Amino acid sequence: MITAFNLFTSLAWIIAGIISAMISILFLMKNPKKRLNQLFSAGFTFWSLSLLFNGINFAVAYSSLLFANIFRDLCIITGILSALLLFLSAIGIYFGAETLHWIFYVLTGVVLVVSSIFGAMNDWVVEDGLGGFKTTDNLLGKSFVQIVPAFFVITGAIFMILTYFSLENKTAKKRIGYFIIGFSTIIIGLFMFLIDTLVEISPYLFPSLAIVTWVTVPLLMLAGFYVKVDAKQNTVTMYGVGSQESKTLNPKHKIERHS
C-alpha cells in the first residue's frame, strides 16, 4: 500500500505538472511564429513533463521499480532540457533571437546528452526502508540532475538582469522583471530541496513550498509576456513578444522597421 508521503508527492507533482502544461500552451498561443515564444513554450512544456514524470515514478514504483526508474530517467532528461531551453531564451532576449545560430543548439544537445547519461546512471528510485520509495542521494547524480541545470538557470537570470538594466522603457523593464522573478523562483525551489535535506522539520513542508514555487514559474513568465510595451518610445522590446516594429531587447541592436 502506498505510503502517505509517496501519495502526497505523487499527487502534488502530477497536479503541478498539469497546471504548468496548461500555462505553457499559452506561451505558444501568444505568438506561435516567433522563435523566443517557441523556446519559452518548449522550455515550460518539458518543465511540465519533468514534474509529471517525477510524480508518476513514485506512483508506479509499487508495481514495478523498472518502470519507476524509466519515468525517473524521463524526469531527469526533460528537466535538464527545460533548463537549457530557458537558458537559450535568455540569450535570445539579450542578444536577439537572430543570434541563436545552429551551434547553440548543437552545444545544448551535447550538454543534454552528457548530463542525462551521468544523471540517469547515478540517480534512481529505491526503497526508503519505511515501506515507501525515494530517489537516491548520490552526489554525482545530483550534480548533473540539479547543479548543472541550476547553473544554466542562474546564468539565464544574469542575462535577464543585464537586459533589465540596459533598458530605458519602463514597461519593457517591467516585462523583464517578471522574467527575472520567474528564473529566480526556479532557484528558490532548488534551494527548498537543499534545506529539506539539511533540516528535519516535516517531510511535507519544504517539498510543498518547492512545488508551489515551481508552479508559479511559468505563471510569472506568462504575466511578463502580457505586459504591453510602447514601441513608439525610443527603446527596443523583445523580439517576437513586443510590437512588430521592434527586433530585440538588446539595446545595441539596430531596429529594423517593417514596411
> Is the whole-model pTM more than 0.85?
no
Residue 142 lies in a domain: yes
Residue 34 lies in a domain: yes
Range of the domain at 34: 4-225
Residue 255 lies in a domain: no
Distance (Å, rounded) from C-alpha 206 to C-alpha 192? 5
Across residues 152-174, what is the average pLDDT?
Answer: 90
Burial class (CB in 10 A: 0-12, 13-18, 19+), 226: exposed
- Residue 250 predicted with pLDDT over 50: no
Position 230 confidence tier, pLDDT thresholds 50, 70, 90: low
Residue 76 lies in a domain: yes
Distance (Å, rounded) from C-alpha 75 to C-alpha 141? 13
pLDDT digits (tens, 9 = 90+) for 22-80: 888 887 787 788 888 888 889 989 999 999 999 999 889 999 999 999 999 999 999 99
Counting the structural domains of the chain, the total is 1
Q: Which three cell numbers stand for residue 77?
A: 532528461
CA distances to 25, 70, 74, 86, 255 from 247, rounded to whole Å, are 23, 42, 36, 19, 6
The CATH number linked to 145 is 1.20.1070.10
Residue 81 lies in a domain: yes
Residue 157 lies in a domain: yes
Contact between residue 39 and residue 88 where contact means Cβ atoms under 8 Å apart: yes
Residue 238 lies in a domain: no
Which residues make Cβ contacts (< 8 Å) with residue 257, sequence separation at least 6?
A: 245
Contact between residue 41 and residue 24 where contact means Cβ atoms under 8 Å apart: yes
pLDDT digits (tens, 9 = 90+) for 113-153: 999 999 888 888 888 877 888 887 677 877 888 888 889 99
Residue 66 lies in a domain: yes
Across residues 225-244, what is the average pLDDT?
Answer: 51
